[in-house]
Structure 1
Amino acid sequence: MPIYEFFCRKCQEPFTAFMSMKEHDERAPKCPRGHDAKEVEKRISSAHAVTTKKSLTY
């Protein structure tokens, strides 16, 4: 299950959420401190992929 990063504008704190892709597409999570989902914005985060071939590092 993917890990998504969010930021609450009300309390100025980042948080992560474990959500399926379907859940992520359907709704934004509430802030863990109880603020409404309207106050939450998505953040861009890094991704990690495992492949069967050896990757080159640049």
Structure 2
Amino acid sequence: MPVYEFFCRKCREPFTEVMKIKEHDERTPVCPRCREAKEVEKRLSAVHAVTTKKWLTY
């Protein structure tokens, strides 16, 4: 499941939340510190992916 990053403008605290993609579209997260949902904004975060390359030999 994806990890989303948020920032609470009320208490100025960043926090992360693990949610399904569908769940992310349907609900607004609540700040774990001040329990406020109206002042939460989504933050952009870097994505890290590990892949393997398959080399073809002719």
Stretches of structure 2 that go unaligned for 5 or more consecutive residues are none
Corresponding residue of 1:22? 22
Number of residue equivalences: 54
When the two structures are superposed, what TM-score results if normalisation uses the length of structure 1? 0.80
Detail structure 1 runs of 4+ shifted over 6 Å in the superposition: none
Name the larger-Rg structure.
Answer: 2
Q: Does the 8 A contact of 1:4 with 1:19 survive in 2?
A: yes
RMSD of aligned Cα (Å): 1.5
- Percentage identity across paired residues of the two chains: 74
- Identify, as 1 or 2, the structure richer in helix: 1
Corresponding residue of 1:35? 35
Stretches of structure 1 that go unaligned for 5 or more consecutive residues are none
